[in-house]
Structure 1
Amino acid sequence: MALILADVGGTNVRFASVAERSAVPAQIHRFQNDDYASFDAALEAYRAQIGLGAASALSVAVAGPVTDRKARLTNRNWELCTEALARAHGFERVYLLNDLSALGYALDSLDADGLAPVLDSGAPPNGADQRLVVGVGTGFNVSPVLSFGGTSVCLRAEAGLGSLPSRVVRLLEDYVGGAAPWVRCAEDAVRGPGLAELHAAATGQPKIDARDVIAAANTGDAAAEASVKVYARMLGELVLDLRLLYMPQGGIFMAGSVVRGLLDSPARDTFIDTLRAPASVKSSLAPVPVSLITQDEAALRGCLAFARALG
């Protein structure tokens, strides 16, 4: 019987199905969250669209904290519970994991087509060492990845809900000329809506989507380019702090629509130059390699790896 995979973000949910002996997700479809009142409704729409009747299991990556077999989206009022999903949809097993953890479980299945180099540390990544996945999109979070004995374990974290480092706060307040009331935690400053708020506060113009700020920077808009470069430095400084917190000598792996757009903008060099700097005045740690996860189905692959690891 089939295994259903789901990658639930703040804006979209992506589904796939996998036959019992298959190693590759198939029947991949994406749905807009705004079109559905709940995850259950989106799941039923997917099953109807591909004509899938019975399925033995469901493995779901969620953009939010996962605890005690329950999950809640950080940026949307959707709740998921393993027992409720199994009962409502006839699954024998339901697995829930954080979306960044899912990307961590996918790392070992990604090849050169799924990763793009951002910063070369001068040494090849050590896959047996600690690694770190950093996601920047509708939200912000990380997942530390520990590998030993051929097995990877991805730890839970909610780094985006912690405090913003003081050096990032200084960059932000210097640019907007004062306090930033929209920033209540680290995520508020560096996720996509944070860039939108930053640009509006600095220019006094109406707020536009982060994608539109980056697009304007790409067309030569000087104000948008300034905002994107400040944002790139803020994000780079935060990643330097994460380097100290998690010691990812095996590499940092960036993911998410916002960081993809940033690396295709005039702020790419600003971001990379910031990552090359010492992590702190006391740190003697060498830079670690940084890559961008480019495969759209990476989280679905991680859901598959996680489900199969648990039997």
Structure 2
Amino acid sequence: MLLAGDIGATKTQLAVYAPDAGARKPIVQAEFQSANYAGLEALVQEFTAGIEHPIDAACFDVAGPVIGGQARLTNLSWTLDEKSLQRSLGFGRVLLLNDLKAIAYAVPHLRPDELHTLNAGKADPQAPIAIIAPGTGLGEAFLIWSGHEYVACSSEGGHADFAAADQTQSRLWSYMVDRYGHVAYERVCSGSGLPNIYDFLRDTDHAPEAPAFAAQLAKAPDRTPLILQAALEDPENALCAATLDIFISILGAEAGNLALKIFATGGVYLAGGIPPRILGPLDDGRFMRAFLAKGRFADLLGNVPVKVITSHAALYGAALYGLDQMARQSS
């Protein structure tokens, strides 16, 4: 049996898979709040305590870079090591991979009903494919064709320098430099980045902040869900509406940047926790206007398919990867 896990800064999903059933059919699955645990070992031990099936191997995707079988989550104070996990959990093998690499691994296997199209375009067969995923942080990855299959490649492009696309974003950049010193895309294009945009708009008097909403934000352990909900459901909350508008424009611009950098004529896929929640605003043209605003290369990008992944692709990708590695080891 394989234990697969999607280890995020906010939530962790674990599931057990049988090789003959495949990655679409977990035997048992559960979700946990990551911050409630001191480390992955305690969480896994709690999950597996009631499972009768013996676990032969585990594959965990993590929200952070994986180097030499070791990973430190970018937005959670966990440090993971394949060999240490193998010893402490008693599994025959433990694999770690970046969460965006797991999503990339899943992309060629996704069904049409797991995708929402923003731009139909026309994919070039065997061309590079880009993945950009705003969740708690901002993840990026890509796929390249090896000659007989796609190879998933991880990236830390979400931590590259933020480039302002208009005057408002220039003022946002200046505001963020004063706050953080270095401004990466993740600071303004992620769940953790949304409150930064909101603070900028509030502090520069873009619109008045309602006292009742300010009180709600002050009590919230995480302001992002409140800001998103108000942007989507409260037309009178001008600050939240403007926050989401800037967020979508930045996301569209960076998705276009990524597409140009790897020449992703095979398609661009939006993943992570935020895009499925804002399909309406993504559909209204704001995202694609920013995506296409690349001067002489607008026509090229207009032919690139752009889709939102609406399923939990990271866990699926981790299961696919883990089962594939088990099969290769036994062959």
Q: Same fold (TM over 0.5)?
A: yes
- Cα distance in 2 between the residues matched to 1:243 and 1:266: 17
Q: How far did 1:267 drift?
A: 7.9
Instruction: Provide the residue aligned with 2:136 in structure 1.
Output: 138
Task: State the match for 2:127 in structure 1.
Answer: 129
Q: Which residue number in structure 2 is paired with residue 21 of structure 1?
A: 20
What is the distance in 2 between the residues matched to 1:7 and 1:266? 26
For residues 167-206 of structure 1, the aligned pairs below 5 Å read: 167=165, 170-174=167-171, 176=172, 178-180=174-176, 181-182=179-180, 184-204=183-203, 205=209, 206=214
Residues 167-209 of structure 1: per-residue CA shift (max 9 Å, x gap): 37x54244x5952224632211111121111112212455572
1:229 aligns with 2:229: no
Summarize the Cα distance change of 1:167–1:265 in structure 2 as closer, same or farther, 3 Å threshold. closer
1:100 deviates by 0.5
TM-score by length of 2: 0.84
1:274 to partner: Cα distance:
1.9
Any conservation in 2 of the 1:54–1:90 contact (CA below 8 Å)?
no
Q: What is the aligned counterpart of 1:241 among 254, 257, 273?
A: 257
- Out of 62-71 and 199-208, give the one that drifted further: 199-208
Residue 40 (structure 1) shift: 0.8
Corresponding residue to 2:314 among 293, 299, 309: 299
Q: Which residue of 2 aligns with 1:10?
A: 9
1:163 CA drift (Å): 1.1
Q: CA 1:56–1:70 in structure 2 vs 1: closer, same or farther (change >3 Å)?
A: same
Asked if structure 2 preserves the Cα contact closer than 8 Å seen for 1:214 and 1:265, the reply is: no
Structure 2 counterpart of 1:172, one-letter code: Q
Q: Among residues 157, 160, 165, which one is paired with 1:159 in the alignment?
A: 157
Task: Write the deviation string for residues 231-258 of structure 1: whole angstroms up to 9, x where unpaired.
Answer: 2111111112111111111100101122
Alignment of 1:21-170 (within 5 A): 21-23=20-22, 24-26=24-26, 27-48=28-49, 50-52=50-52, 54-121=54-121, 123=122, 125-167=123-165, 170=167
Show CA shifts across 1:51-102 (max 9, x none): 2453110011111000001111100111111111111111111111110110
State how 1:244-283 maps to structure 2 within 5 Å: 244-265=260-281, 268-275=284-291, 277-281=292-296
Deviation at 1:265, TM superposition (A): 3.7
Instruction: State yes or no: 1:216 paired with 2:230.
Output: yes
SS across alignment from 1:100: helix
Structure-2 change in CA distance of 1:7 and 1:153 (3 Å): same
Q: 1:30 to 1:222 in 2, by over 3 A?
A: same
Aligned mates of 1:13, 1:271 — CA distance in 2: 29
Residue 305 of structure 1: how far off its partner (Å): 2.1
CA–CA separation in structure 2 for the residues paired with 1:35 and 1:224: 29
Percent of aligned pairs sharing the same letter: 25
Distance across 2 between alignment mates of 1:305 and 1:51: 21
C-alpha displacement at 1:282, in angstroms?
6.2
Using structure 1 for the length normalisation, give the TM-score.
Answer: 0.90
Q: 1:280 to 1:42 in 2, by over 3 A?
A: farther
Structure 2 unaligned spans of 5+: 204-208
Deviation readout 1:104-161 (Å, 9 max, x if unpaired): 111122101211111122x2x2452210111101010211111344422111211112
Structure 2 Cα separation of the partners of residues 15 and 217 of structure 1: 32
The one-letter code sitting in structure 2 at the alignment partner of 1:230 is I
Deviation at 1:266, TM superposition (A): 7.8
Count residues with an aligned counterpart: 303
Give the RMSD, CA atoms, in angstroms: 2.2
Distance 1:303 1:89 in 2: 18
